[in-house]
Amino acid sequence: MAAATWHEGTIGPLLEAAAAGDSLAWDSLVSRFTGLLWGTARAYRLSTADAADVVQTTWLRLVENLGRIQDPERLGGWLATTARRECLVVLKKSRREPPVGDERWLDTVPDQRSAVDGALLVDERDSALWRVFDELPDRCRRLLRVLLADPAPSYAEVAEALDLPIGSIGPTRQRCLSSLRRLAVESGALDPGDLDLTDRTVSLGGEP
Amino acid sequence: MSQRDDDFERRLRAMATEADPPPSLVYEAARAAFSLRDLDAELAELVADSLVDDPAVLTRAVVSDVRMLSFECGDVVVELDVETDPLSRLVRLSGLAVGAVGAVTIVRADDRSSVDLADGGRFVADGISPGPLRLELTTPDGRRVTTSWIHV
């Protein structure tokens, strides 16, 4: 697992310092976890505006709860849970508010799709791979989108963001990376040589 | 865990970071959130949210449904109804503040506005733009109470 730059035991002191009023400590927490929160909102296919609101609401919730977080080393999980709940509120709201015109519809429909089409990746093969990524089955796309946050989240944080058992993250990750490689080879975004025996074996076992 | 998966994940992470990073405004808003800390006010926590608590919401397609929220802090209770205009997407807040006097202040990340409490503690605010907000109230003995942040 990545996340090598943030060792266990670093979050507690930052949280404590922020609670005591240290804005630099706060900024460090923002740098550490905003990617995770953004990835979570995108995993649920929220539009840019909704994702931005969810991330901001999550940070505001932490501000009002500074000094009350039970287990500081699990702050990432607390933030991810808070963001997930806010994402579900947005999704329920958008189900309740039907479209009333094309323009509004465009405004309210999650625009992850256009984020994908419009994404300018310098490397053409990366662009092709990113499009394949977006077409993964939901379960895989969602898990990987959170996992690919920068800096890399822990499995515990990914589990909280998606409300999945932590023990399922590793095996699902492996299966989803394999699926992605196979789909990418089929669409020409990866070379057939990039597949190995495991990928082929998994493909015989059916879709996740 | 295979090295090959780790390498592939690293390549994908670099792609995701290039194609769909958090916008810089999102980082700025997150850093600025710290300045909205209010140590002098007591927190009225969100104790009920019809959108979260009502499983039927998922399967119902109701146009004019009102989202109902409740906040509590000791004797102070705030019942808040949130309605979004489907055309303008502007929000109407209406509610009841028990144990508060004077006015209710609607706090946004970059703005504050107040509406007076009517008899019995009722209040209405129209034309609110979507986004995070909280309400600030004063008790008869002068304590300040703020609700949890919500996203409308």
Tens digits of residue pLDDT in A175-203: 999 999 999 999 888 888 888 777 776 55
Two tokens at A151? 């800096």
Q: Which of A1, A60, A176 to mutate to test the interface with B (most CBs of B within 10 A)?
A: A60
Two tokens at A152? 């890399």
**Distance from the B86 Cα atom to the nearest Cα atom in chain A, whole angstroms:** 6
Q: Give chain A's mean pLDDT.
A: 84
- Short-list A175, A127, A157, CA closest to A39: A157
Are B12 and A144 in contact (CB < 8 Å)?
yes
Helix (H/G/I), strand (E/B), else coil: A19: helix
Are B26 and A52 in contact (CB < 8 Å)?
yes
- Short-list B96, B83, B110, CA closest to B147: B96
Longest dimension (CA), chain B: 68
Q: Are A130 and B15 in contact (CB under 8 A)?
A: yes
Contacts of B20 in chain A (CB under 8 A): 38, 42, 115-116, 119
- Give the per-residue pLDDT at A23: 96
**Distance from the B46 Cα atom to the nearest Cα atom in chain A, whole angstroms:** 11
Q: Which of B12, B58, B88 to mutate to test the interface with A (most CBs of A within 10 A)?
A: B12
Report the length, in residues, of chain B: 152
Residue A207: is its pLDDT beyond 70? no
Residue A4: is its pLDDT beyond 60? no
Distance CA B151, CA B109 (A): 11
Tens digits of residue pLDDT in B94-150: 999 999 999 999 999 999 999 999 989 999 999 999 999 999 999 999 999 999 999
Element (DSSP H or E) covering residue B47: strand B42-49
**Distance from the A134 Cα atom to the nearest Cα atom in chain B, whole angstroms:** 11
Contacts of A1 in chain B (CB under 8 A): 1
What is the residue type of B31?
Answer: R
- Give the per-residue pLDDT at B63: 45
Query: Can you tell me the mean pLDDT for B12-18?
Result: 95
Distance CA B8, CA B24 (A): 27
Two tokens at B129? 């733009």
What are the φ and ψ backbone dihedral angles of B146, each rounded to 5 degrees? -125, 140
Two tokens at B95? 């509610």
Are B57 and A152 in contact (CB < 8 Å)?
no
**Distance from the A198 Cα atom to the nearest Cα atom in chain B, whole angstroms:** 11
Q: How far is CA A204 from the centre of its chain?
A: 28
- Give the position of tokens 């699926």: A179
Of A53, A100, A152, the CB nearest to B86: A100
- Give the per-residue pLDDT at B32: 96
Contacts of B146 in chain A (CB under 8 A): 64
| Inter-CA distances, A35 with A12, A129, A145, B122, Å | 19, 21, 11, 40
- Give the per-residue pLDDT at A48: 95
| Cα end-to-end distance, chain A, whole Å | 22
β-pair type (B144-147, B42-49): parallel
Of B30, B60, B62, the CB nearest to A34: B30
Distance CA B68, CA B53 (A): 10
pLDDT tier at B79 (50, 70, 90 boundaries)? very high
Residue A40: is its pLDDT beyond 50? yes
DSSP E strand boundaries for chain A: none
Tens digits of residue pLDDT in A103-152: 433 444 444 454 555 566 777 888 899 999 999 999 999 999 999 999 99
Tens digits of residue pLDDT in B32-60: 999 999 999 999 999 999 988 766 555 55
- Give the per-residue pLDDT at B64: 46
Contacts of B52 in chain A (CB under 8 A): 85, 88-89, 92
| Inter-CA distances, B5 with A2, A4, A114, A173, A174, Å | 12, 16, 28, 9, 7
Of A38, A64, A147, the CB nearest to B148: A64
Query: Can you tell me the mean pLDDT for A64-83?
Result: 93
Q: Are A149 and A38 in contact (CB under 8 A)?
A: yes
Contacts of A163 in chain B (CB under 8 A): none
- Give the per-residue pLDDT at B51: 87
Are B13 and A88 in contact (CB < 8 Å)?
no
Contacts of A38 in chain B (CB under 8 A): 20-22, 26
- Short-list A63, A32, A35, A30, CA closest to A51: A35
Q: Are B41 and B136 in contact (CB under 8 A)?
A: yes
| Inter-CA distances, A24 with A27, B32, B109, Å | 5, 12, 20
- Short-list A141, A144, A137, CA closest to A207: A137
Query: Can you tell me the mean pLDDT for A20-44?
Result: 97
Count helices and strands in chain B by DSSP H and E runs: 3, 10
Decide: residue A143, CB within 10 A, 0-12 exposed, 13-18 middle, 19+ buried: buried
- Give the position of tokens 């976890």: A33
